[in-house]
Structure 1
Amino acid sequence: MSKTANPAARTIALTLQRRIVDGTYPGGMPIRQAEVATEFGVSHIPVREALASLAQGGLVDIQPNRGAVVTTLSADQCLELAEMRVALESIALKHSMKRLSAKDLVAARQALARGAKADSLEERSQWNWAFHRLLHAGAARPFLLSQLETLWKHADRYLHYTWKNAHYEARSDSEHEELLAAVAAKDEHLALRLNKRHILGAATVAIDLIKANEVAEQGGA
Structure 2
Amino acid sequence: MDTKFDSTADTVAESLRKMIMDGELKGGDRLVERNLAERFGISRIPMREAIQQLEREGLLDTFRNRGAVVHMLTASDVKEIYDLRALLEGDAIYRSVKRLDNETVARAELVHRLLGDASLAARQGELNREFHALLYSRCGNERQLKVIAELRSQVERYERLQDTLLVDTPSFQVEHKSILQACRVRNARGARSMTIAHLNSARDIVMQLVESG
Q: Same fold (TM over 0.5)?
A: yes
Contact 2:25 2:70 in 1 (8 A): yes
Deviates more, 1:193-202 or 1:176-185: 176-185
Unaligned runs of 5+ in 2: none
Deviates more, 1:17-26 or 1:186-195: 186-195
CA distance in 2, matches of 1:13, 1:139: 27
Partner of 2:23: 23
1:120 to 1:28, Cα distance in 2 relative to 1, 3 A: farther
Deviates more, 1:61-70 or 1:196-205: 61-70
CA distance in 2, matches of 1:202, 1:150: 16
SS of the residue 1:110 aligns to: helix
CA distance in 2, matches of 1:45, 1:189: 47
Partner of 2:36: 36
Alignment TM-score, normalising by the size of structure 1: 0.81
1:50 to 1:141, Cα distance in 2 relative to 1, 3 A: closer
Is residue 171 of structure 2 the alignment partner of residue 202 of structure 1? no
CA distance in 1, matches of 2:30, 2:144: 34
CA distance in 2, matches of 1:41, 1:132: 36
CA distance in 2, matches of 1:139, 1:46: 33
Is residue 94 of structure 2 the alignment partner of residue 94 of structure 1? yes
* Larger relative contact order (CA 8 Å, sep ≥ 6): 2
SS of the residue 1:6 aligns to: helix
1:137 to 1:43, Cα distance in 2 relative to 1, 3 A: closer
SS of the residue 2:212 aligns to: helix
1:66 to 1:138, Cα distance in 2 relative to 1, 3 A: closer
Counterparts of 1:72-111 in structure 2, within 5 Å, are 72-111=72-111
Partner of 2:58: 58
1:141 to 1:39, Cα distance in 2 relative to 1, 3 A: closer
Partner of 2:157: 157
Is residue 192 of structure 2 the alignment partner of residue 192 of structure 1? yes
Partner of 1:216: none
Deviation at 1:119, TM superposition (A): 5.3
Task: Count how many residue pairs are aligned between Structure 1 and Structure 2.
Answer: 206
CA distance in 2, matches of 1:119, 1:46: 36
Unaligned runs of 5+ in 1: 214-221
Deviation at 1:116, TM superposition (A): 4.9
CA distance in 1, matches of 2:185, 2:210: 37
Contact 2:90 2:193 in 1 (8 A): no
- Alignment root-mean-square deviation, CA: 2.4
Contact 1:115 1:125 in 2 (8 A): no
Name the amino acid aligned to 1:90. Answer: G
Name the amino acid aligned to 1:55. Answer: E
Any idea what the Cα deviations from partners look like across 1:184-203, whole Å, max 9, x if unmatched? 13334432332112101111
Any idea what the Cα deviations from partners look like across 1:58-89, whole Å, max 9, x if unmatched? 11111122111111122211111111111122
Deviates more, 1:19-28 or 1:124-133: 124-133
CA distance in 2, matches of 1:6, 1:191: 38
Deviates more, 1:188-197 or 1:51-60: 188-197
1:34 to 1:119, Cα distance in 2 relative to 1, 3 A: farther
Contact 1:116 1:124 in 2 (8 A): no
